[in-house]
Chain A
């Protein structure tokens, strides 16, 4: 069987099956490696830690980029598509990121990281904690010391000091 017509069946954590063209599936380095190591008759790859909703998104990404490469889609179009693709709620975004890391899809991982970095950019420490559901776990002294050393970029610290 040639690689061209080959179909790979990906099975999500919740046992949903996705039939994907070989070229699309192997955008994941993990799957490419798995398929290389097994016999050609094997077509089913379980993805035990990614649920169907997230896996569908990941496959959507791979399918678009596989096609975009084939038909030589323009950079701007791809960028616009990527931007739209990243317009999801934070939970989905984080899950896509975790899946991309597990499946080893470099471009998707990079896109996701860029998006998360963009979320950090213009937010305060408090806002970041809230956004990422993180509890600040520094003691009061540590917190003060951290601020003294690391808060130089914050507009607020400049305002306060300028007023003094």
Chain B
């Protein structure tokens, strides 16, 4: 809402076609990732070949201790390495621990009750099948649109916590820059931070049967002291690209109560695409792939836009 302030201004018709894109959501066409955009993966020294040859094997007891330090996505990944790792990683007590961290509002006993009642079969299967929202990263939606002839880009971020709270932020800042601020413990550190838009701390509830999240958060920004006090409510559908990933959120409805009495429903066109989940592991790299730097479009905007229209695509497609 902040970044769209001024929405509704009137422009005269002109022969500048991009004006028609005003407040249309744009989508970057299938993106070809430039190798330079992405940082190297294994930046740490990994030892020379001769060292690798006689690398000692970790005993199962040690491996198990290592696995106790992993989160669910990492543990699932570890189970794919080899049979021995799978045997260690599939142990029920490791998944019990993860389930209890994922659903801490229920006691161990209540969680076990759910496991049995819904016939998940094991702690691991409960983790994979039971609806949940992910805590190990950010859900991100980028909006790109034209206001007049300028390209506007802003991001919406959601971060969920196991205790039922969440942080919500709308800002032009790219994910790499905004991610540290999404922590509930973040506090402004210097004058440069005072100008930044701050996340609002809200609360959410996941309806496991309907796979919907209702989320509410205030919109106060210290930077704009005169802004009306409001509480924004979202109805969000939880979706995924592969089983168990829980990596998409699509906002079905957004409404707000302003100054405790005025109620308003928002236009949800800006949510015609889902929020995408990006895990903290490899966050920077994933963001460079999924949210390619907008300057690329900025520099080519007219050329790119005319080309797209030339292909017979409508605004909505783009």
Interface residues of A (CB under 8 A from B): 89-91, 94-95, 97-98, 101, 109-110, 113-114, 116-117, 119-125, 127-138, 143, 146-155, 157-159, 161-163
Contact = CB atoms under 8 A, between A and B. Distances in A.
A158 B245 contact: yes
Given A128-B77, A150-B77, 4 more contacts: A101-B61, A137-B82, A153-B77, A155-B286
Given A117-B66, A158-B247, A162-B241, A128 B81 contact: yes
Interface string B236-265: 000011111101000000000000000000
A55 B62 CA distance: 18
Interface of B: 30, 41-42, 44-47, 51-56, 58-59, 61-62, 65-70, 72-74, 76-83, 85-86, 128, 240-245, 247, 277-279, 281-282, 286, 289
B42 A161 contact: no
A57 B83 CA distance: 32
Contacts of B68: 113
Contacts of A158: 241-242, 245, 247, 277
Contacts, number: 138
Contacts of B76: 149-153
A151 B41 contact: no
Contacts of A154: 73, 77
A117 B72 contact: no
Contact of B82 (A90, A97, A131, A138): A138
Among B46, B51, B65, B80, residue most surrounded by chain A Cβ atoms (within 10 Å): B80
A96 to B, nearest CB: 10
B77 A120 contact: yes
